[in-house]
Structure 1
Amino acid sequence: MQNSTYIHKSAKLYGSSRIGNNSVVLENVILGYPQHNILMEITKAGIEIEEYDYPGSDIGSNAFIRAGATIFSNVMAGNNFRTGHNAMIRENTIIGDNVLIGTNVIIDGNVSIGNNVSIQGNVYIPTHVTIEDKVFIGPCAVLANDRYPIRGEYHPEGPILRKGASIGANATLIPGVEIGEGAMVAAGALVTKDVPAWKLAIGCPAKIVDLPEKLELLNSI
């Protein structure tokens, strides 16, 4: 930690957590909260979390982490990382530079997020999702990773969002779908199949139509 980084006295940093220069960490933020297997080791040993040495979270420079955010162990984020209030990012999530994780977003771990990504409030992202550069995900969108929950063996397969894809507010993506480069998913759409690059998915269930020519450019994030 550098002298130019502000960390509110109510924030908690666990494990070997690190945050870069020129950063702000606000009230009741938790960095490096132990993932389940580490937490079990700690409770079995009968010691306090603060006394246990394990990998925390690693956040780059110029971060701004708002009140109530929880970032688990083995999370790595690049520079210019920002969160809204009460965001939760679980273990083994890798985040690039210039990424916004909005208020009340849940990222359930084992997720890869590229550079220049904007994820708006109340989005749910399950495990095993890949989000490439310049992706926009609108508020209240839901991604899923299990086609038949609790009706068979669990094989998580999250959606893949290719470079410059846009997901509209309240859209739902079923497990395993791929949203192609520059493609758009309309607000409220239910996406049940892959969306080719530079196409538009609209409706419930979504139909694939041509993207208006004026929208054939990458997101400016």
Structure 2
Amino acid sequence: MIAKSRIHESCRLYGINTIGRNCTILENVTLGYPSGRILDEIAAAGATPETYSYVGVRLGDDAVIRPGSTLYCDVVIGNALRTGHNALIRENTLIGDRVLVGTNVVIDGNCRIGNRVSIQSNVYIPTNTTIEDNVFLGPCSVLTNDKYPIRIPYDLKGPVLRKGASVGANATILPGVEIGEGAMVAAGALVTKDVPAWKLAIGAPAKIVELPEALRSLNRI
């Protein structure tokens, strides 16, 4: 279902998508791309992605999706989404209202992202990550979810970023780490342990220090 929105003729739509009012979807955007599970179903049914019926994207009002971006199936997004170019949002992801997903961002599925979140260019967000309201992620910051990559079994667990947290450019946050409410992670930091609310993580590996009084306010997003 598409309600009074502008969709470029080069866009590819898979599955059953619901698109809100006043959306602008630009060149070469893909909506509802099938996940691995859906592709298996399609193969078993002897069908094609173009003809098989499954749940695609549910997109709120006033979105702007820029060229080259791909949103997989089972993605639910609130109002006023903005993407840069070539953003990728994988399946089973829930995103709130007024969220920015910058150029070349990868959100790798099974993620929960709140309202008024700003995700700058080239950020990587792995499977099973939770990001609450008013969080800022600086350019090229990397979140991780595999504590022992490939070597031994590990239940993938992404970080948890609490309300109003800020992560600086090129910072790396290790699996399962919690960044507390209002906390800040300095640019280039390597965060290996939880950061308490309203504290600052700085350095590699990061040390926890007091947050300057001037920075003790929620992000203005």
Considering the TM-score relative to the shorter chain, is it more than 0.5? yes
Contact 2:72 2:91 in 1 (8 A): yes
Measured on the aligned residues, the alpha-carbon RMSD in Å equals 0.7
TM-score, with structure 2 as normaliser = 0.98
Q: How much has 1:16 moved relative to structure 2?
A: 0.9
Query: Where do 1:43-192 residues align within 5 Å?
Result: 43-192=43-192
2-side partners of 1:108 and 1:126: how far apart? 5
Q: Structure 1: 5+ residue runs without aligned partners?
A: none
Q: Which residue of 1 aligns with 2:3?
A: 2
1:157 alignment partner AA = K
**Which stretch has the larger CA shift, 10-19 or 58-67?**
10-19
Q: Which residue of 2 aligns with 1:216?
A: 216
1:101 alignment partner AA = V
1:200 alignment partner AA = L
1:151 alignment partner AA = R
Aligned residues: 220
2-side partners of 1:14 and 1:99: how far apart? 23
1-side partners of 2:103 and 2:40: how far apart? 29
2:111 alignment partner AA = V
Contact 2:201 2:207 in 1 (8 A): yes
Q: How much has 1:152 moved relative to structure 2?
A: 1.0
2:60 alignment partner AA = G
Q: How much has 1:153 moved relative to structure 2?
A: 1.1
1-side partners of 2:55 and 2:3: how far apart? 19
Q: Structure 2: 5+ residue runs without aligned partners?
A: none
2:132 alignment partner AA = E
1:55 alignment partner AA = V
2-side partners of 1:121 and 1:17: how far apart? 26
2-side partners of 1:153 and 1:205: how far apart? 25
Q: Deviations over 1:61-100 (max 9, x none)?
A: 0000000000000000000011110000000000000000
Q: How much has 1:44 moved relative to structure 2?
A: 3.3
Q: Deviations over 1:79-125 (max 9, x none)?
A: 00111100000000000000000000001100000000000000000
2:89 alignment partner AA = I
1-side partners of 2:100 and 2:123: how far apart? 12
1:37 alignment partner AA = R
1-side partners of 2:54 and 2:48: how far apart? 13
2-side partners of 1:88 and 1:116: how far apart? 19
Helix, strand or coil for the counterpart of 1:80?
coil
1:181 alignment partner AA = E
Contact 2:147 2:154 in 1 (8 A): no
TM-score, with structure 1 as normaliser = 0.98
1-side partners of 2:176 and 2:51: how far apart? 40
Q: Deviations over 1:32-70 (max 9, x none)?
A: 001101012213333221210001010100000000000
Percentage identity across aligned positions? 66
Q: How much has 1:197 moved relative to structure 2?
A: 0.3
Q: Deviations over 1:101-160 (max 9, x none)?
A: 000000110000000000000000000100000000000000000100111113111100
